[in-house]
Structure 1
Amino acid sequence: MGVKRRLLLVSNSTLHGGGYLEHCREQILKFFGQYKIPMDSAPRQVKRVLFIPYALHDRDAYAETARTKFESLGGGNTFRLLKALYDNRLILEIRKRVLQDGIPYMGSSAGTNVATISISTTNDMPIVYPPSLEALALIPFNINPHYLDPDVNSKHMGETREVRIFQYHEEPDTPPVLALREGSMLLVEDNKSTLLGVTGARLFMRGAAPTEYEPGTDLSFLLSTS
């Protein structure tokens, strides 16, 4: 039996000009509408969502924001989120529930980062120290949310996102990095993956030039990356 997974991995929780998760409201409603789990013939409708607010310090306020809006999994600081998942011994449990039991998983920003192999390509500061950078590994590659293209007119002298990902790929045995611009998201259904949203994405592979992809592109080949 193949891997049974249903993931919605969103680049950002808030898009300029809109409210919390407003830009992906339709995708969220569709994602949580009906789903099937292994050994179950009839589709189910999600009635409850487990929200994990570990990415922000004020967990109660963060949970209330999600509850009053769309009740989805969200952003915040990736290091804080991953450390709390390890502290509460949830890494293996979430992985089992998603990959074996077929429970839908949605994340945005930090929640998207921790769904990947590691948080090595997050944009966040390491404000806390998780026991490992290895994450949930629900997909066999990394994601860089909130991706910003290099600005040729900028006078900023620091590294761009592009340069930092190139630096990551200078290390051996590093997986592909899918850079999701704000407004983009990745839908994973079993062994099929589709880029959604209103902006495109860039795929970085070690030793190769980045590749551009537009919304609607089938990216299923990334799920067989090893």
Structure 2
Amino acid sequence: MNLLLLSNSTAPGRRYLDHALDEIRDVLGAARELLFVPYAGADHDRYTAQVAAALKPLGVGVTGVHTAADPARAVREADAVFTGGGNSFRLLKALHAHGLVTAVRERVAAGAPYLGSSAGTNMACPTLRTTNDMPIVQPPSFESFGLLPFQINPHYQDAPADRTHMGETRAERLTEFLQENDVPVVALREGTWLRRDGDRLALGGTEAGGVLFRRGAEPRELSTGHDLSALLTEPVRFDHR
């Protein structure tokens, strides 16, 4: 599989996707047409236009899957697929409604590059259970694409030393997840991404790095460039409901 999974789509002080354009160019390779999945947002046309403008310098054409008469067929015929960020619950509900969970999984397994940012990165996991989003709608299942056998938490934030907010930290939330699910979680700080090329998986992006959470173990800091290929052999230990 050929995957690029971004924690975030916009870096501070930079334009949409600008911080990752070189990596996007690399993952797309010879593909010059990209099918965009805008369902995590409310205005699908505007969202698609934003992506098209960002990728124009790469010579890549962008079509929104929402404009297709048969979205599943459009996915099956796509050169590459990009699922954008927004609300993960709204996104997953639409993916199930249009029959795209299986369609994307099969198209990517057949060799099409897959790009995700934020919610789109969550979709590469077996389920959306490690999203940060509010469940504004209810999908019929938590099952997502399952392009990886482990979970990701995009937009990971460390708790400030002088915090006054008394709610759970992101690390505490992920610890709660691991109390119920024995599945690794890779937490991606802003500006970072995961890149999968076949059987190789590595952490890329800024020096912010990430954190690996496992049940019964202390969180492990991950530096940019860290080889995470061993995670690709992890068994999936929970259902998708």
TM-score (norm 2): 0.85
2:166 paired with 1:181: no
2:135 paired with 1:139: no
Unaligned ranges ≥5, structure 1: 34-44
Q: Between Structure 1 and Structure 2, how many residues are aligned?
A: 209
Distance 2:84 2:182 in 1: 26
2:26 paired with 1:64: no
Distance 2:83 2:123 in 1: 11
What's the CA shift string for 1:13-60, capped at 9, x where partnerless?
A: 111111111111111111112xxxxxxxxxxx1010000000001111
The equivalent of 1:18 in structure 2 is 14
Any idea what SS the aligned residue of 1:216 has? coil
Among 20, 29, 34, the alignment partner of 1:49 is 34
The equivalent of 2:116 in structure 1 is 107
Distance 1:67 1:94 in 2: 20
Any idea what SS the aligned residue of 1:17 has? coil
Any idea what SS the aligned residue of 2:25 has? helix
User: What is the CA-CA distance between 1:193 and the residue it aligns to?
Assistant: 0.1
User: What is the CA-CA distance between 1:210 and the residue it aligns to?
Assistant: 0.6
The equivalent of 1:96 in structure 2 is 106
The equivalent of 1:39 in structure 2 is none
Alignment-mate amino acid for residue 177 of structure 2: Y
RMSD of aligned C-alpha atoms? 1.0
2:24 paired with 1:28: yes
The equivalent of 2:212 in structure 1 is 203
Distance 1:210 1:68 in 2: 39
What's the CA shift string for 1:51-95, capped at 9, x where partnerless?
A: 000000111111111111125532111111111000001111111
The equivalent of 1:80 in structure 2 is 90
Query: Percent identity of the aligned residues?
Result: 48
Distance 2:54 2:13 in 1: 16
What's the CA shift string for 1:154-208, capped at 9, x where partnerless?
A: 101111100000011111x431110000000000011110110002010000111
What's the CA shift string for 1:76-115, capped at 9, x where partnerless?
A: 111111110000011111111111x111100000000011
Unaligned ranges ≥5, structure 2: 56-61, 63-81, 236-241
